[in-house]
Amino acid sequence: MKGFRVSIISWFCFLFLCCFVCGQLDYNYYDASCPNLTRIVKYSVWSAISNDTRMAASLLRLHFHDCIVNGCDASVLLDGGEKNAKPNKGSARGFEVIDTIKANVEKFCPNTVSCADILTLAAREAILLIGGPFWSVSFGRRDGLTTSEDAANNQVPSPFEPLENITAKFVSKGLDIKDVVVLSGAHTIGFAQCFTFKQRLFDFDGAGNPDPTMDASMVSNLRSLCPNQDDSSDSNLAPLDAVTTNKFDNVYYKNLVNKTGLLQSDQALVGDNNTTAQMVLGYSRYPYLFLKDFAASMVKLGSVGVLTGKDGEIRKNCRVVN
């Protein structure tokens, strides 16, 4: 009886360990099956960024929006679901770039590399190409079979919600408050449309005043970009980091200290939460600390909810399930 129990327990351990090992991502996953993968992706990303500098930012954000909704499973790339959600529609960019990369990869290694791995690698190559930090990407993610507009609406953080809510969303994915501060540093590049920050400019308090945590000259500049009661300007673009817009550096944090963060959710990092404010101050002073921590948090982001083993598939076309 006792021996029986022990053998049941060891079977359980064996199964658990086996699944655990099979479920791991692997740095050498495509070494044999697609040895030139990184080269192919690097070239396509380089070509896309040469044509449109902003594409580096757009690819990074696309990867974030993939991972934060049901894990890094390329569900954001499927037509008809997450793409139509509020945070993505008219906002998420880079789908055609991923299509081009996927087509190039299929030429050399057909039916081998998942769209989720391609997006993860494309984001890394994009940041590297614009002078940001390197991080190692491991592979073996499989592509999801479903995509949900509601899931994206509920799971992607909004610039209008408080820090506690944003942190809760990160925590529910296995990320933490440090990842919130560090990954928000992605806003050192790229742009945001007027409607994502306009509420700060005119009647923030119901008494006709702008957000007191925004620098006054920034308020006046942004008011001319995004005039009140003129919805036609809602899609005008402002740089998330107005000082070094295309440079992947720690100036985002210096801006926050200077009250020149663009989104309310950016500026909130130096609001009443002492923990995040201290981190922001640290990153504003130590550029290499930011680059190092950003790389580490990107590795964490890239492993959120990944599908491995028998779950999911290797999509042939990133926009549709096979």
Ligand X SMILES: *[C@@H]1O[C@H](CO)[C@@H](O)[C@H](O)[C@H]1NC(C)=O
Q: Measured at CB, which residue is nearest to ligand HEM?
A: 190
| Residue 259 Cβ vs ligand HEM, minimum distance, rounded to whole Å | 18
Q: Does 189 bind ligand HEM (CB under 6 A)?
A: yes
CA angle 59, 62, 65 (to 5 degrees): 155
Q: Does 166 bind ligand HEM (CB under 6 A)?
A: yes
| Residue 160 Cβ vs ligand X, minimum distance, rounded to whole Å | 6
Region of 185-193, 214-222, 250-258, 277-285 interacting with ligand HEM (CB under 6 A)? 185-193
Tell which positions 97-156 bind ligand HEM, by CB under 6 A: none
Among ligand X, ligand HEM, none, the one that 210 touches (CB under a kind-dependent 5 to 8 A) is: none
Please say which residue, 201 or 251, places its beta carbon nearer to ligand X.
Answer: 251
65 tagged catalytic: yes
Distance between CA 135 and CA 174 in Å, rounded? 19
| Residue 235 Cβ vs ligand HEM, minimum distance, rounded to whole Å | 8
Region of 136-144, 191-199, 271-279, 280-288 interacting with ligand HEM (CB under 6 A)? 191-199
| Residue 133 Cβ vs ligand X, minimum distance, rounded to whole Å | 20
Q: What number of CA atoms fall less than 13 Å from residue 32's CA on the CB side?
A: 2
Which residue from 117, 92, 109, 105 is spatially nearest to 25, judged by alpha carbons? 117
CB 169 within 8 A of CB 161: no
| Residue 2 Cβ vs ligand HEM, minimum distance, rounded to whole Å | 52
Q: Say whether 260 sits in a helix, a strand or coil.
A: coil
Q: Say whether 297 sits in a helix, a strand or coil.
A: helix
Catalytic residue (one of 42, 61, 63, 65): 65
| Residue 163 Cβ vs ligand X, minimum distance, rounded to whole Å | 5
Q: Does 48 bind ligand HEM (CB under 6 A)?
A: no
Tokens of 269: 């990092």
Other Cβ atoms closer than 10 A to 214: 20
* 139 φ, ψ (degrees, to nearest 5): -125, 170
Among ligand HEM, ligand X, none, the one that 64 touches (CB under a kind-dependent 5 to 8 A) is: ligand HEM
Residue 193 host element (H or E):
strand 191-193
Other Cβ atoms closer than 10 A to 96: 10
Among ligand X, ligand HEM, none, the one that 159 touches (CB under a kind-dependent 5 to 8 A) is: ligand HEM
Among ligand X, ligand HEM, none, the one that 304 touches (CB under a kind-dependent 5 to 8 A) is: none
Tell which positions 232-251 bind ligand HEM, by CB under 6 A: 240
* CB contact burial 65-79 (16+ within 10 A = b; e otherwise): bbbbbbbbbbbbbbe
Residue 122 host element (H or E):
helix 115-129
- Any residues with CB less than 8 A from the CB of 139 and at least 6 apart, and which? 25, 26, 27, 29, 30, 117, 120, 121
Among ligand HEM, ligand X, none, the one that 29 touches (CB under a kind-dependent 5 to 8 A) is: none
Region of 54-62, 142-150, 245-253, 271-279 interacting with ligand HEM (CB under 6 A)? 54-62
- Any residues with CB less than 8 A from the CB of 42 and at least 6 apart, and which? 125, 129
Binding site for ligand X (CB under 6 A): 35-36, 51-52, 108, 161, 163-165, 167, 177, 243, 251, 254-255, 258, 273-275, 278
Contacts made by residues 202-211, CB under 8 angstroms, sequence distance 24+: 202/228, 211/264, 211/267
Supply the residues annotated as catalytic: 65
Q: Which residues bind ligand HEM (CB under 6 A)?
A: 54, 57-58, 60-61, 64, 91, 93, 157-159, 166, 180, 183-184, 186-187, 189-193, 196, 240, 263, 265
